[in-house]
Structure 1
Amino acid sequence: MELVDDGDAGQCIGMGSMTQMKLQTLHEEEEEEDNKICLNSMEKSSSSSDQKSDAWEAGNGSEFKVHVFSSSSQLLEKLHEKWSSVKKQPYLAMYSSIFGGIICDPAMMVIPIDDHMVHRGHGVFDTAILLDGYLYELDVHLDRFLKSASKAKISSPFPQSALRSILVQLSAASQCKKGSLRYWLSSGPGDFLLSPAGCPTSAFYAVVIDDDFSQCKEGVEVVTSTVPMKPPQFATMKNVNYLPNVLSKMEAEEKGAYASIWIDEEGYIAEGPNVNVAFINHDKELLLPSFDKILSGCTAKRLLQLAAKLVEQGRLKGVRTANLTVEEGKGAAEMMFVGSTLPVLPIITWDEQPIGDGKVGELTMAVSDLLWDDMVAGPEVQRIPVPYV
């Protein structure tokens, strides 16, 4: 799949796609009198001279009046006005299968309101890291992405090889050397019903986000979440229904902590709101909760592979997954979060109880170094070079 640059539009457009410029000219030939039908029937204008040529304020009987955009060009002007005040643009490029290409104008990075991912939550997503011009672990994330889509009964509009190509080209178009790549697969736009039967095709979206992350060396505090976690059927797929995750994170912040820890219905430690959790016990074993009821973290699984080096060096006794009780977790020598952009975040207290001596652990930083080194200079199978122009 090849994408080409449309310099006249100031954005990158896919061959054969609907260009963003269509939105700017969609209604420009309409007469002013035709646009007046947009007026709210409850509002009577006393004078046509008081009306603007391309927009009005529609009243509803109260003092609050809603602005009505009567042309796409005026709406675009408003969107550009908003983004022109942003000092540093965080969203560098977006791909949309609806438009059929890459968008470099942040004002046009939109999805349809009738997309079922918006109003029904019928969608899945995944991520990848951009570091020093390389995409880290893109292929394993794409594998998980399509497994999530299969569980959600969403078919991709493209084969995996094309999805990969789109994401690599998107990264190149963004010119981003350090940031994150996020992408979504939706059952698509079509209507506002529950079933996706009325959606002509699924939709694929992706965006490159400028993000200056670095290795975490300071410890954080966590609390036990009182928000019920998702059942295994949904927790094991990376779907867009993140309300429990959001509420869990907010609960922790309200208590002055970084994040919450979920405990499953059997009393075993599960995960954080969007990260895996890991422990080092006093026998110097690296332990992670089993993945059968939680999301199988790509970074966490990579850590299990890399940590074998510390076993060979005699610094760790072993590496394994297991069902871990809260008592075992709080009684561990060291504790950490594991996630794509961290990649390891030390945890020093849980529910105000110190983990170990309450300081960042030596072995925690050792496994953090392993992951960070893998991100910076790992094997080619883990790091895909971005072909910047």
Structure 2
Amino acid sequence: MASVSVSFPKYMSHIPTRHAGHLAELCIVPRNLSLMKQGSVRELRIVRSSNQTEPLIDCTNKPSDIPLLSCSEATERLKQNREKHKGKQQFLAMYSSIYGGTVTDAAAMAIPMDDHMVHRGHGVFDTAATMNGYLYELEQHFDRIIRSASMAKIVLPFDRETIRRILLQTVSASKCIKGSLRYWISAGPGDFQLSPSGCNQPALYAIVIEDQSLFDSKGIKVVTSSIPIKPPQFATTKSVNYPPNVLSKMEAEEKGAYAAIWLDEDGFVAEGPNMNVAFVTKEKELLMPNFDKILSGCTAKRFLTLAEGLMTAGKLHGIRVDNVSVEEGKRADEMMLIGSGILVRPVVQ
């Protein structure tokens, strides 16, 4: 390997010579170091000890095999990729405030990489079901995303009525009969800094998803999640920051279960990764955990309203939203998961 001369920048001139030698061994390379020689890339190695090296860049004179694509070529590849990986969900229409309009080609449904929601997770979202061509309980979901945006210190890109009109028109353009509308409000694009101060303006995105999967009422197994639950400030905000939720769901799948249920810091039953939990006690009382430390589920609240009819019919003797201990949950006659993606699923194990 050819030797590489390392010269230290001026801001490091105060470092004593004896330490500078150690820095050179660690291969701290200044920005102006050139590794190019006669059109090829030299092999660069990190010195781990006096006699061990690890290659970073392979020595090669071959031209790069990564093509430089035009915009039209990239779009065509996106289309091909969409066709190749079609699933049960189809994306029928997307609105983007960056575009200032709606697109129906899935290949054009994109979000800028420098959007603060993409690289910092600084965004909120919500979902409303589409049933028979109508949006179900849009206002309740809409209230929640506005509340979440306020908690995330994200300014609304438009006034409430304008956002509502955009969402309705996007669903109309999709011609979706059965599916869902998912929409995001982000701090917007601008740069890759931590603070959103460099973002030009907040952004609104909305996508209509057609879902042809059938409703499944089969009983499921749940386990207790070992993944730490989000602190209440973040658990009650419907943000795009979902690593705990994803890891919790993966943990359940690894154990042959449908979902992993979180306990709060006091050991009470909290919620699932993207659904609420409810029980029916032996005394025929509907029992649901408090919403003060978990996400306030729109489907769960609708569930509580419908349950009042079961009380009138004599099938329930009471409804209680309270702390639920693990022991109380295990003693219950019934347990179920509730959410917009699953509606109601009975837990049998």
* Cα distance between partner residues in 2 of 1:42 and 1:209: 52
* Cα distance between partner residues in 2 of 1:196 and 1:216: 42
SS of equivalent residue, structure 1 residue 126: strand
**Measured at CA, do residues 41 and 157 of structure 1 come closer, stay the same or move farther in structure 2, by a change above 3 Å?**
farther
* Cα deviation digits, residues 199-224 of structure 1 (max 9, x gap): 11001111111112444321000000
* Cα deviation digits, residues 221-251 of structure 1 (max 9, x gap): 0000000010000000100100000000000
- Ranked by relative contact order (alpha carbons within 8 Å, sequence separation 6 or more), the top structure is 1
Check if 1:287 corresponds to 2:290. Answer: no
* Cα distance between partner residues in 1 of 2:348 and 2:194: 45
SS of equivalent residue, structure 1 residue 68: coil
- For 1:231, the aligned partner's letter is P
Q: Which residue of 2 aligns with 1:72?
A: 71
**Measured at CA, do residues 162 and 232 of structure 1 come closer, stay the same or move farther in structure 2, by a change above 3 Å?**
same
* Cα deviation digits, residues 327-379 of structure 1 (max 9, x gap): 01111100000001321111011xxxxxxxxxxxxxxxxxxxxxxxxxxxxxx
Matches within 5 A, 1:30-41: none
* Cα distance between partner residues in 2 of 1:201 and 1:77: 30
* Cα distance between partner residues in 2 of 1:147 and 1:72: 38
Q: Which residue of 2 aligns with 1:236?
A: 236
Tell me the CA shift for residue 80 of structure 1.
2.2
* Cα deviation digits, residues 142-168 of structure 1 (max 9, x gap): 000000000000011111111111111
- For 1:81, the aligned partner's letter is Q
When the two chains are superposed, the root-mean-square deviation of aligned CA atoms in Å is 2.0
Query: For the Cα contact (< 8 Å) 1:214–1:342, is it kept in 2?
Result: no
**Measured at CA, do residues 337 and 87 of structure 1 come closer, stay the same or move farther in structure 2, by a change above 3 Å?**
closer
Tell me the CA shift for residue 81 of structure 1.
2.3
Query: For the Cα contact (< 8 Å) 1:104–1:174, is it kept in 2?
Result: yes
Q: Which residue of 1 aligns with 2:5?
A: none
Matches within 5 A, 1:183-202: 183-202=183-202
SS of equivalent residue, structure 2 residue 279: strand
Tell me the CA shift for residue 65 of structure 1.
4.5
Pick the structure with greater CA Rg. Answer: 2
Tell me the CA shift for residue 71 of structure 1.
1.8
Q: Which residue of 1 aligns with 2:149?
A: 149
Q: Which residue of 2 aligns with 1:98?
A: 98
> Size of the alignment, in residue pairs?
297
Query: For the Cα contact (< 8 Å) 1:286–1:320, is it kept in 2?
Result: yes
SS of equivalent residue, structure 2 residue 260: strand
**Measured at CA, do residues 327 and 111 of structure 1 come closer, stay the same or move farther in structure 2, by a change above 3 Å?**
same
**Measured at CA, do residues 214 and 160 of structure 1 come closer, stay the same or move farther in structure 2, by a change above 3 Å?**
farther
SS of equivalent residue, structure 1 residue 279: strand
* Cα distance between partner residues in 2 of 1:66 and 1:286: 62
* Cα distance between partner residues in 2 of 1:292 and 1:117: 25
**Measured at CA, do residues 234 and 95 of structure 1 come closer, stay the same or move farther in structure 2, by a change above 3 Å?**
same
**Measured at CA, do residues 60 and 113 of structure 1 come closer, stay the same or move farther in structure 2, by a change above 3 Å?**
farther
Q: Which residue of 2 aligns with 1:131?
A: 131
Matches within 5 A, 1:144-223: 144-223=144-223
Q: Which residue of 2 aligns with 1:303?
A: 303
With the length of structure 1 as denominator, give the TM-score of the two structures: 0.73
* Cα distance between partner residues in 2 of 1:326 and 1:142: 33
